[in-house]
Amino acid sequence: MTTSDASSDQTLPVALRTEALEQLLTERGLIDPEVMNGIITHYETNVGPLNGAKVVARAWADPDYRRRLLADGTAAIKELGFSGAQGEHIVVVENTPTTHNVVVCTLCSCYPWPVLGLPPSWYKDPAYRSRVVREPRVVLSEMGLELDDDVKIVVRDSTSEVRWLVLPERPAGTEHLSEEELVPLVTRDAMVGVAKVTAS
């Protein structure tokens, strides 16, 4: 392979490189496509942000559940059937008009998989991991979230022992919505604290 060939290979989209690697590993008998499909399906349907959205919607709709969630996140989340690896100890913090929480893992990419699925690439990026601690307001602004100067920002550092989940503010104008109708409004980014939930 020439130098130009090697450099052009590096510009291939990640999806194509991943597909080529999977095909090579399958041809050599190192992975079973059925097993891989099962893992992918598990994280796309059984584990992921939809689970977290259900937790948030329940907390917005049920004050008693919200109290339990903030007192013991792991137990309250388990009430809805969400538990497992990377979710052994989840602490839930609530965003308010005066305090905004944002989550990071400064050491690696600790993340509450049972309620948020796999971490996005930006969460694992060294730039995010270092900068959001030093200049959270700037980083949030760059990600599209503008907060008033009087809003206190609290950076929560996830570890292998404790993983954080943000309970976002319920947006105005959603008082008439049912719990089921609230679920689609809640995004992964809002549960990490880099975005807010909007009514539309």
Q: Are residues 93 and 167 in the same domain?
A: yes
Identify the domain containing residue 40 by its residue range.
9-45
Instruction: Write the CATH number for 154.
Output: 3.90.330.10
Its pTM stands at: 0.79
Same-domain status, 63 and 147? yes
Give the mean pLDDT of 194-199.
97
**Active-site residue 110, yes or no?**
yes
Confidence band (pLDDT; 50, 70, 90) for 25? confident
Residue of 22 and 121 predicted with greater confidence = 121
User: Does 108 qualify as catalytic in the annotation?
Assistant: yes
- For residues 38 and 105, state if they share a domain: no
Reduced to 3 states (helix: H, G, I; strand: E, B; else coil), residue 16 is helix
Instruction: Let me know if residue 200 belongs to a domain.
Output: no
Q: CA torsion sign, 38 to 44 to 45 to 47? A: positive
The string of DSSP letters for 18-51 reads HHHHHHHHHHTTSS-HHHHHHHHHIIIIISSHHH
Residue of 7, 83, 108, 121 marked catalytic = 108
Does residue 109 carry a catalytic annotation? Answer: yes
pLDDT band for position 6 (50/70/90)? very low
Q: How far is CA 119 from CA 62, 114, 132, 194, in A?
A: 28, 11, 16, 13
Q: Note the pLDDT tens digit of each residue in 66-97.
A: 999 999 999 999 999 999 888 899 999 999 99
Assess whether 79 and 126 both reside in one domain. yes
Of 147 and 33, more confident:
147
Q: Which pLDDT does position 44 carry in this prediction?
A: 59
Active site residue 121: no
Residues 128 and 167 occupy one common structural domain: yes
Averaged pLDDT, 162-168: 98
